[in-house]
Chain A
């Protein structure tokens, strides 16, 4: 036999090397997969088999200052469809059951086609109980259809708080793009008001349950018996400064009007009431908002979505006179002995300005009491334009108050520079006379107004206005207060005593708001009427009470009605009464308890 023929040594070697080569190749490949690239395969295997199931935590609720629940969570049923298991021939019957038009389900499924067909798609939230029982009865004929219980917002206190509370809604694609680290399609997110501003605190932290799934994505058990599960952390409950009773009164009084009513505790900066009218029904936003309702809101000429408390910037009218009086007294331009003889009108720089009547000889206190325009026409020239601007800004005008919900307007305070820009360096100084009585190119928001009123009431010291006092710890429900900035004007108390005297007389003397005089509560205040070239004037009123120990400061704006005294002041009075009468009751209760000798209580218990 030839050497290179049958079963020769060389042929054996070739077979040998082919086999060894193949083993080397496979061995290397296995080493590469199982040792070098192990981590990436391990991850893929985990992704395959372990499915995280998101647990949405309960959203924090809102309490008012007396721990009444303002905003709560209410269970609601949501219909879902898992496209992978679903048969679209069921569309018709399900649409009938949930009361939707034909094509509704197809549309939603189409919108969600980009996501895995094994992920359930929310078809309709808040389906009624009849639909739920139907689903329950027919579940075996409805593959891929189920329902889950989800929480929606409820408003049990009977107050609307539309602009203040705000609403939550399903996250929009645009927002999702921005916050995709935390949120997933279908998640709810705070969209306005406190819900938006405190979203991070309210939403809590999502949890995950890890379950094992097989190749058909069917759950077959817990992963490591739940040892790796991350529990959801409940959202924190917020405690608001709001007093439901004051809020309810404010909302009721503003019904059918356009305007805003806001109350604040001057000592703490806590907002006690926050109402803007017209408003809207938050229940309609609890989960699904009907298109018709939204269209109605958007087309309403009174703009119900517009938050007048923070964004309606209007001339302050005579309410501004307090600021000017403080400025003049603080600068030493005048003292209480400075008087002006009010003759009912005067010409300033060639322009005639009239007053509502001739008030005779008035000092600053009585000028405030009677809202004597004539006095303040003169006063602003004594203060000076530059200084007027500085004092206005000191009181927080012309800039955002920093309220803890957004969409706030700065309002507008003109500077000498502004007039130079508009009219040239020789701008007509007659403009100043209108500014002196809070008219013209000056605009103020109600929230600025209540801050201003608080500063006066509390002798130049208050805190940044805020709706939320703090949050409750999840464990023992202890209040953790948020810190807010202290505002201190650094103006002597004696100056405030003078202007407050004037404000006291506005209500309790023969002043412009004598109509709201209360026999039990000493209210001090100032009316204002913002001239409106387009229609009826806007009515302002700021006030605080009790006079000697202010616990509540109020600013009320009613648009297009006329004089402040007639329309705005009574609302303020009702709000003050609502707050202080309750306060009085509390105090009486307290004083009864404390007047009882301690040992007596002890004995009573012992017996």
Chain B
């Protein structure tokens, strides 16, 4: 086999450049949104320093032997679980959530590490030679690996991050090759759970649909019966869980259903975000000239609502450029995942893609008003060290896999 020594053969610019450009756009937006805010002074500088650190880490990860990831899969997972437990005990409480660990003056969110740990552990388990994704036992093990961190994160409570886990579990077992029925078994309790948040009629309606589907699959009665019971249980458990959620999260979910009901309350952010984006128009109001941004109509805009800054100040052109960069990045990772010969690496890549994609979809969907306001950062763009390190670290893994893609046959 001929080995190409051109740069592009060893280093995937198609992965690196979009991510780096997104990071730079993010810096500009952070600069703009924190310029007139004394509470956020220095955020830009911090993000620059984190960015330098994160991209150094990128090259470290890039240079590692590729099999390191498989070796470290289970230890990483276990370590992140440990950290999640630690954070529950000694974590800092920030805006109602106990999700931060103070590490020598720098905040750190163990849940960011847990995402990667879970992807690696799940990839490890699913890529074992004797794992059969059609077996009930293996599905349960996969779900347990995936959902155990979710349980701990829910206790913080951090709803947004939990969605990431649901996303990555679903995508990974799908990628592994779960059958339609298997997918149904995994998905139906989740759908029932979401429907139970609306009202009684949605809940009952969804249960009826589940029942009909079960009958259509023509599995044996005992199995179908217990599956149905699981669904019902999931619904009630979610209702219970919803009540256990912090009040501000409950109102956020409610305000998604009707954001106009309380324009100065829970729906405020959603409305102001839309106004910021929409008022940007085609060309935007210009850098540092967005009234919504500069007059701080959106609280903490540099984190989860960073896309509004781009939308307001750089307009449709700006938002579309960001979309295109993400699309290109995702397509590269998807292509790499499908061409990777090693099952573990392929699953890791698809898991990383799932993490990025769910973050992206929920974040952008939220600011344009087609998703509930769930606090999730926009990968590479939003302000925040933990998420930037985690995003770039995963990018490093993807680049690493690209580098050695021809070594695996």
Chain A 26-48 interface 0/1 with B at a Cβ cutoff of 8 Å (1 = within):
11011101110110111011101
Q: Which residues of chain B have C-beta atoms less than 8 A from A106's C-beta?
A: none
Q: Is there contact, CB below 8 Å, between B278 and A7?
A: no
Q: Which residues of chain B have C-beta atoms less than 8 A from A15's C-beta?
A: 171, 174-175, 334, 350, 353
Q: Which residues of chain B have C-beta atoms less than 8 A from A31's C-beta?
A: 316
Q: Which A353-380 residues sit within 8 Å CB-CB of chain B?
A: none
Q: Is there contact, CB below 8 Å, between B334 and A16?
A: yes
Among B295, B337, B369, the most chain A Cβ lie within 10 Å of the Cβ of B295
Q: Which residues of chain A have C-beta atoms less than 8 A from B274's C-beta?
A: 33, 41
Residue of B nearest to A30 (CB): B319
B101-109, B230-238, B360-368 - the one binding chain A: B360-368
Q: Is there contact, CB below 8 Å, between A7 and B316?
A: no
Q: Which residues of chain A have C-beta atoms less than 8 A from B370's C-beta?
A: 25-26, 29
The reply to whether the CB of A172 lies closer than 8 angstroms to some CB of chain B is no
A11 to B337: give the CA distance in the assembly, Å.
12
Q: Is the interface of B mostly helix, strand, loop or mixed?
A: helix
Given A6-B176, A15-B334, A45-B276, A30–B281 Cβ distance below 8 Å?
no
The reply to whether the CB of A491 lies closer than 8 angstroms to some CB of chain B is no
Q: Which residues of chain B have C-beta atoms less than 8 A from A5's C-beta?
A: 176-177
Q: Which residues of chain B have C-beta atoms less than 8 A from A41's C-beta?
A: 274-275, 277-279
The reply to whether the CB of B56 lies closer than 8 angstroms to some CB of chain A is no
Residue of A nearest to B174 (CB): A11
Q: In the complex, which of the residues B174, B291, B337, B369 contacts A45, with contact meaning CB atoms closer than 8 Å?
A: B291
B65-73, B139-147, B240-248, B323-331 - the one binding chain A: B323-331
Q: Is there contact, CB below 8 Å, between B295 and A49?
A: yes
Among B311, B331, B368, the most chain A Cβ lie within 10 Å of the Cβ of B368
A26 to B319: give the CA distance in the assembly, Å.
10
The reply to whether the CB of A479 lies closer than 8 angstroms to some CB of chain B is no
The reply to whether the CB of A148 lies closer than 8 angstroms to some CB of chain B is no
Q: In the complex, which of the residues A4, A11, A19, A46 contacts B327, with contact meaning CB atoms closer than 8 Å?
A: A19
Q: In the complex, which of the residues B297, B316, B327 contacts A34, with contact meaning CB atoms closer than 8 Å?
A: B316
Residue of A nearest to B312 (CB): A45
Q: Which A198-243 residues sit within 8 Å CB-CB of chain B?
A: 212-215, 220
The reply to whether the CB of A23 lies closer than 8 angstroms to some CB of chain B is yes
The reply to whether the CB of B346 lies closer than 8 angstroms to some CB of chain A is yes
Q: Is there contact, CB below 8 Å, between A6 and B311?
A: no
Q: Is there contact, CB below 8 Å, between A4 and B295?
A: no
Given A30-B323, A45-B292, A213-B295, A38–B279 Cβ distance below 8 Å?
yes
Q: Is there contact, CB below 8 Å, between A29 and B334?
A: no
Q: Is there contact, CB below 8 Å, between A7 and B295?
A: no
Residue of A nearest to B364 (CB): A26
Q: Which residues of chain A have C-beta atoms less than 8 A from B326's C-beta?
A: 23
Q: In the complex, which of the residues B279, B323, B350, B365 contacts A44, with contact meaning CB atoms closer than 8 Å?
A: B279
Q: Is there contact, CB below 8 Å, between B282 and A220?
A: no
A518 to B307: give the CA distance in the assembly, Å.
92
The reply to whether the CB of A22 lies closer than 8 angstroms to some CB of chain B is yes
The reply to whether the CB of B296 lies closer than 8 angstroms to some CB of chain A is yes
Residue of B nearest to A218 (CB): B295
| Distance in Å: Cβ of B387 to nearest Cβ of chain A | 20
The reply to whether the CB of B404 lies closer than 8 angstroms to some CB of chain A is no
The reply to whether the CB of A8 lies closer than 8 angstroms to some CB of chain B is yes
Q: Is there contact, CB below 8 Å, between B316 and A212?
A: no
Q: Which residues of chain A have C-beta atoms less than 8 A from B334's C-beta?
A: 12, 15-16, 19
Chain B 287-310 interface 0/1 with A at a Cβ cutoff of 8 Å (1 = within):
000011001111100000000000
The reply to whether the CB of B41 lies closer than 8 angstroms to some CB of chain A is no
A46 to B312: give the CA distance in the assembly, Å.
13
Q: Is there contact, CB below 8 Å, between B291 and A27?
A: no
Chain B 331-346 interface 0/1 with A at a Cβ cutoff of 8 Å (1 = within):
1001001101001001
Q: Is there contact, CB below 8 Å, between A212 and B291?
A: yes
Q: Is there contact, CB below 8 Å, between B331 and A19?
A: yes
Q: Which residues of chain A have C-beta atoms less than 8 A from B361's C-beta?
A: 22, 26
Q: Which residues of chain B have C-beta atoms less than 8 A from A20's C-beta?
A: 327
Q: Chain B contact residues (Cβ within 8 angstroms of A): what range? A: 35 or more
A278 to B323: give the CA distance in the assembly, Å.
81
A42 to B327: give the CA distance in the assembly, Å.
28
Q: Which residues of chain A have C-beta atoms less than 8 A from B298's C-beta?
A: 215
Q: In the complex, which of the residues B277, B316, B343 contacts A6, with contact meaning CB atoms closer than 8 Å?
A: B343
Q: Is there contact, CB below 8 Å, between B278 and A48?
A: no
The reply to whether the CB of A89 lies closer than 8 angstroms to some CB of chain B is no
Q: Which residues of chain B have C-beta atoms less than 8 A from A35's C-beta?
A: 281-282, 316
Q: Is there contact, CB below 8 Å, between B368 and A30?
A: yes
Q: Which residues of chain A have C-beta atoms less than 8 A from B175's C-beta?
A: 6-7, 11, 15
The reply to whether the CB of B280 lies closer than 8 angstroms to some CB of chain A is yes
The reply to whether the CB of A2 lies closer than 8 angstroms to some CB of chain B is yes
A33 to B337: give the CA distance in the assembly, Å.
34
Q: In the complex, which of the residues B295, B330, B337 contacts A214, with contact meaning CB atoms closer than 8 Å?
A: B295
Q: In the complex, which of the residues A11, A14, A44, A50 contacts B275, with contact meaning CB atoms closer than 8 Å?
A: A44
Q: Is there contact, CB below 8 Å, between A30 and B311?
A: yes
The reply to whether the CB of B320 lies closer than 8 angstroms to some CB of chain A is yes
Q: Is there contact, CB below 8 Å, between A29 and B346?
A: no
Q: Is there contact, CB below 8 Å, between A33 and B346?
A: no
The reply to whether the CB of B189 lies closer than 8 angstroms to some CB of chain A is no
The reply to whether the CB of B315 lies closer than 8 angstroms to some CB of chain A is yes
| Distance in Å: Cβ of A430 to nearest Cβ of chain B | 80
Q: Which residues of chain A have C-beta atoms less than 8 A from B346's C-beta?
A: 6-7
The reply to whether the CB of B357 lies closer than 8 angstroms to some CB of chain A is yes
A14 to B171: give the CA distance in the assembly, Å.
11
A240 to B55: give the CA distance in the assembly, Å.
83
Q: Is there contact, CB below 8 Å, between A45 and B275?
A: yes
| Distance in Å: Cβ of B350 to nearest Cβ of chain A | 7
| Distance in Å: Cβ of A219 to nearest Cβ of chain B | 11
Q: Which residues of chain A have C-beta atoms less than 8 A from B171's C-beta?
A: 15
Q: Is there contact, CB below 8 Å, between B280 and A34?
A: yes
Q: Which residues of chain B have C-beta atoms less than 8 A from A45's C-beta?
A: 275-276, 278-279, 291-292
Q: Which residues of chain B have C-beta atoms less than 8 A from A9's C-beta?
A: 338
Taking Cβ atoms with an 8 Å cutoff, the residues of B that contact A are 171, 174-177, 272, 274-282, 291-292, 295-299, 311, 315-316, 319-320, 323, 326-327, 330-331, 334, 337-338, 340, 343, 346, 350, 353, 357, 361, 364-365, 368-370
Which 5 residue pairs of A and B lie closest in terms of their CB atoms, listed nearest first?
A: A41-B278, A5-B177, A45-B279, A49-B291, A34-B316
Query: Assuming A34-B311, A214-B296, what are 9 further A-B pairs, CB within 8 angstroms?
Result: A15-B350, A29-B369, A34-B277, A35-B281, A38-B278, A38-B281, A45-B292, A213-B295, A215-B272
Q: List 29 A-B contacts (CB under 8 A).
A: A5-B177, A6-B346, A7-B350, A11-B175, A14-B174, A23-B326, A26-B361, A26-B364, A27-B323, A29-B369, A29-B370, A30-B316, A30-B319, A34-B280, A34-B281, A34-B311, A34-B316, A35-B281, A37-B278, A38-B282, A41-B274, A41-B277, A41-B279, A44-B275, A45-B292, A49-B291, A212-B295, A215-B299, A220-B295
